[in-house]
Amino acid sequence: MEPKPTDALEILSVELLERHRPTANQLRLLARELVLPIGWHYLLDLTWILARTGEVAGREVLDAGAGIGLIQWHLASHGARVLSVDRGDRSRLAWHLRRRYHVTGRERRDLAPVWWTVTSPRELARTLLALWRCHLRFGPTAPGRVVLHRGDLGDLAAVASDSVDLVVSVSALEHNPPGRLPAVVRELARVLRPGGRLIATLAAAADGDWYHQPSKGWCYSEATLRAAFDLSPGVVSNFHRHDDLLAALRANRELREGLASFYRRSGANGMPWGRWDPRYQPVGVCKVKTSTG
């Protein structure tokens, strides 16, 4: 059934994994098939967002700060037309993703010819492995499409106002300082059609905003998020449970054991050197655009 569109502000509890077990399992499987490692808390983010998107087949969806992240591929698998926006260069998008999904660049520079993508024997092996896994389980193409667009979320001049049915954003907006966040949210709201939803996950702070240096991301206080997303005082949050929820996250075996191996290779990420030690936790925000903006 289509979820009722309501504003929400919620620190993501590990209980989400049990509540949305089929979705969580489906996401893990897709990540494995596409050989896309997922962030240490992303299963929570993705299940929370997908529980709120409703039917996406045939819908125009903007993935804000998409990188090569899983949600755009999941949505395209379910028939969405995804505009995938990121300031990073994804023009060398892996071959197997182009093969399984209908992917184009919004401009020529957004997607390089496919023969530019295999740059090393390791990349060739990864591509062949992913192609084999895709072949094993699915047909060659998903029903939706993904259009890559390189640009800043604070200036989406190429996207018309009121043109998008849904905006999703997975752990991306926190890479904008608190002072800049409201302008980014306003721009995302501008392109959203009235009645459409902006569903985003960011990182939560118990009290004041603070910067997590290893992941280069901000953790935002409840007050900062309420102001940036223009949430009314009537939207009830669970920030009062911040410390308990963080303790439960730290103790969660499933996320700890599922930690992707790339974390072990560097100290500059959300889980430096792969040592399970969550310092912050994800928070979900849902904002429904009213007809007055």
Binding site residues, ligand SAM, CB under 6 A: 65-67, 69, 71, 86-88, 152-154, 170-172, 175-176, 184
In the bound state with ligand SAM, the residue whose beta carbon lies nearer, of 8 and 168, is 168
Q: What is the largest CA-CA distance in the chain?
A: 55
CB 161 within 8 A of CB 129: no
How far is residue 194's CA from residue 229's CA, in Å, rounded to a whole number? Answer: 15
How far is residue 82's CA from residue 76's CA, in Å, rounded to a whole number? Answer: 7
Strands 164-170 and 192-204 turn out to be parallel
- Give min distance, CB of 201 to ligand SAM, in A: 9
How far is residue 98's CA from residue 219's CA, in Å, rounded to a whole number? Answer: 34
In the bound state with ligand SAM, the residue whose beta carbon lies nearer, of 10 and 45, is 45
CB 88 within 8 A of CB 150: yes
How far is residue 214's CA from residue 17's CA, in Å, rounded to a whole number? Answer: 26
Structure tokens at 72: 């755009």
**Cβ-proximal residues to 184 (8 Å cutoff; 6+ apart), any chain:** 153, 154, 173, 176
- Give min distance, CB of 76 to ligand SAM, in A: 14
Nearest residue to the partner ligand SAM, using Cβ: 69
- Give min distance, CB of 110 to ligand SAM, in A: 13
60 forms beta bridges with: 81
In the bound state with ligand SAM, the residue whose beta carbon lies nearer, of 65 and 278, is 65
In the bound state with ligand SAM, the residue whose beta carbon lies nearer, of 67 and 274, is 67
- Give min distance, CB of 236 to ligand SAM, in A: 27
In the bound state with ligand SAM, the residue whose beta carbon lies nearer, of 8 and 172, is 172
Determine how many CB atoms are found less than 10 A away from the CB of residue 214: 14
- Give min distance, CB of 67 to ligand SAM, in A: 3
CB 24 within 8 A of CB 48: no
Strands 81-86 and 60-64 turn out to be parallel
In the bound state with ligand SAM, the residue whose beta carbon lies nearer, of 54 and 67, is 67
In the bound state with ligand SAM, the residue whose beta carbon lies nearer, of 73 and 239, is 73
